[in-house]
Amino acid sequence: LEVGVARLRGEERQRMLNGELSHRLKNTLAMVQAIAGQTLKHVAERDAVASFEQRLGALASAHDVLLGKGWQAADLATVAERVLEVLDGRDRFRIAGPAVELGARATLSASLLLHELGTNAVKYGALSVDAGTVAVIWTIEDGTLRLDWRETGGPAAMVPKRHGFGSRLIKLGLVGTGGVTVRYEDTGFSATMYAPLLELQQA
């Protein structure tokens, strides 16, 4: 009985610590956002400021998912759903794949990557028109995760004239080491990302 009581007390203490950690992280991100807003308030290109704030939001969503798992890991499907649900056209995403646990660093990387792809789809790709859809599908083969992002029903994809931070972020892939193939086709934009499953879980 005493062991059971001690365990329950320990779990309650951990929940309280997690709650406090979540509160502090959100406060920190809010402070960064406020500082950035003041620092960049005279920047003429407001889209860049908005992009920065939205990326902070994607990180905040990743933190929330990690917190639910004791800051140890996060389910890829949950990460994808949380990051993409805030975008316009969120009901036109199809997300599917086997259960995959991501380590903390991989969770943050994947959140930023999916946010960037989703934002581009809303601005320029399939979700910029009513009929467009996006499939986010992943599979595991021989210890490697393959994640496919495929847009259909939208305008033809055009190679960007300049490669900004977003493009560089996408090319970093799921764990920041590359392994990405992007395609700009008449049928729409698509990307395929590969990463060793063990690296994703340990990152």
Q: What is the CATH number of the domain that holds 52?
A: 3.30.565.10
Please report, rounded to a whole number, the percentage of residues in the chain having pLDDT higher than 90.
Answer: 38
Question: What domain count does the chain have?
Answer: 1
Q: β-strands 188-196, 144-152: how paired? A: antiparallel
The tens digit of pLDDT for each residue in 2-16 reads: 666 666 666 566 566
Neighbours of 25 (CB within 10 A): 17
Contact 178, 172 (CB under 8 A): yes
Helices marked H in the chain: 2-39, 46-67, 76-84, 104-123, 165-172, 197-202
Question: Is the pLDDT score of 203 beyond 60?
Answer: yes
Residue 188: band (very low, low, confident or very high) from pLDDT cuts 50, 70, 90: very high
- 79/62 Cα distance (integer angstroms): 7
The tens digit of pLDDT for each residue in 19-36 reads: 555 555 566 666 666 666
pLDDT at residue 14, rounded to an integer: 57
Domain region containing 181: 2-202
pLDDT at residue 105, rounded to an integer: 82
